[in-house]
Amino acid sequence: MHNYSNKRMALLRLKLYLSTVFIVCMINLVDCNKFRKLEHGLSMLKGKLSTLENKVYEDEATLQYEMEQIWRMLNSSNRGFIDILNINETDSVHNNKMETVENVIRKIEERSELLTKGFTAEKTELRKRAQDFESEIAGLRNQHVTALTNFTNMADEFMLELNHTVGDQLKQMNSQLEKNAYDIMQRNADEFAHLKKSLNEQFINFKESIEDLNNKSMMSLQQTVEQMEIKHNDLLYSLSSKANKTFADTEVKIDSELQKVREAQEYTDKKTVQLDDMIKTVKDGFDENAKMFNKIEDLLQYVPIIKCIVKGGVQFENSCYLHPSTQATWHWAVDACSKMGARLAEVNSEAENEILVKINKEARDGTDRVWLGASDLENDGVWKWQTSKQPITFQKWNKGEPNGRMVENCLHFYKVLGTWNDLPCDRNLNYICEFTM
């Protein structure tokens, strides 16, 4: 109940605060409109005053200019007067000119005085109006501050009085609510005691009913169990008799089946022995055939070399080298050797290089250059054997070689010196095919 009172008090304070804010805003709105109108009038007066001052400055400049013109005229008149004296002009003409000049000067002075008086009076009036506006604005501001202060004091007094009034009312309400709550709790306590007593009586009656029911159920259950035990024993005896008879019949059948299995096992053992003998015989035959095939494969390895030797080639280690009598480009030579089951010769040692030099010297075909099976066509500067795709490990380049870059990409050797050089691949040279095992 105390929390409810606090919430209600807070709600009243909030309403009062909002009302206060609304009133202050309305006062400020009215005053602000007045201030804006006064400030707008003051701004217009200041604009007019500035325009008047500019106009005064312009008129003063105009008067200054006219005075300068008059002085120029006077100077010119003086020079004319002197000229007139020199030519013995009459006094009457001279007097007329001087009167004309004096009249002009007097008119200008009168005009200047009138303008100055008019501007001064208008300027004084505008300044006075501006001061009146400023005084009125200051008075309104003072009134606004005074009104706001009075309203704030009134709001504080009202809040204080409201706190006292609401506080007393809340105390009375709290007191009444506490009394009502005590009465309600007292009534609830009496009803709870009566209900508790009633429930205890019902629980005792229910407990007695349960105990009576349990006794009756236990007796009925015991009788049922005894009957089930009798039936169970009868069933066990019947099942035991049937099981013994079935077991005996089954045992006879199992013995008969086991005998058949033993006979089948003996037959299987005999056939297994016979099959093992047959497998051994076949295996021995396969072993003989495998040995024969291995010998044939060993012999087939020598077939390319034999073919090379038959055609007049020279054998060295596990290779045979054949020197065709034709000339061809490097690519054509690679293809021709491949069609014969060989490759364009690859050199992997000094001894192999020397045997190739010897073969070409004996050929006496009239050329000094012979293609070998290497190039750097795939990657300039990286020389590989064309067929085996292996990089060159043994090298016998002529001095300053290779130097062909992107133009000379295929390898040949000089058959007299045995050194290597790179040439364009489209040159027609002799070549050597290498047959390997």
* The model's pTM: 0.36
Contact 362, 353 (CB under 8 A): no
pLDDT at res. 394: 95
The span from the CA of 313 to the CA of 304, in Å, is 11
Mind giving me the DSSP string for 102-144?
HHHHHHHHHHHHHHHHHHHHHHHHHHHHHHHHHHHHHHHHHHH
pLDDT at res. 89: 46
Per-residue pLDDT, averaged over 132-146, amounts to 74
Per-residue pLDDT, averaged over 359-385, amounts to 86
pLDDT at res. 249: 75
Per-residue pLDDT, averaged over 130-146, amounts to 74
pLDDT at res. 355: 92
Q: Over 60: is that where the pLDDT of 157 sits?
A: yes
Please list the alpha-helical segments (H only) found in 302-329. 303-310
The span from the CA of 355 to the CA of 319, in Å, is 11
Judge if the upstream peptide bond of residue 324 is cis by omega within 30 degrees of 0.
Answer: no
The span from the CA of 358 to the CA of 355, in Å, is 5
* Span of 274-278, 350-354, 383-387 with lowest mean pLDDT: 274-278
For tokens 């009249």, the residue is: 103
- The per-residue pLDDT of the chain, averaged, comes to 76
Contact 45, 133 (CB under 8 A): yes
Q: Over 80: is that where the pLDDT of 154 sits?
A: no
Longest dimension (CA), the chain: 193
pLDDT at res. 118: 67
Per-residue pLDDT, averaged over 192-205, amounts to 76
Q: Over 50: is that where the pLDDT of 88 sits?
A: no
- pLDDT tens column, 242-272: 767 776 777 777 777 778 777 777 877 777 7
- pLDDT tens column, 408-433: 999 999 988 899 999 999 999 999 99
- pLDDT tens column, 8-21: 665 666 556 566 55
pLDDT at res. 266: 81
Please report, for residues 136, 266, 305, 376, the alpha-carbon distance to residue 301 in angstroms, rounded to integers and kept in the order given: 130, 52, 8, 31
Torsion sign across C-alpha atoms 220, 225, 230, 232? positive
Q: Over 90: is that where the pLDDT of 344 sits?
A: yes
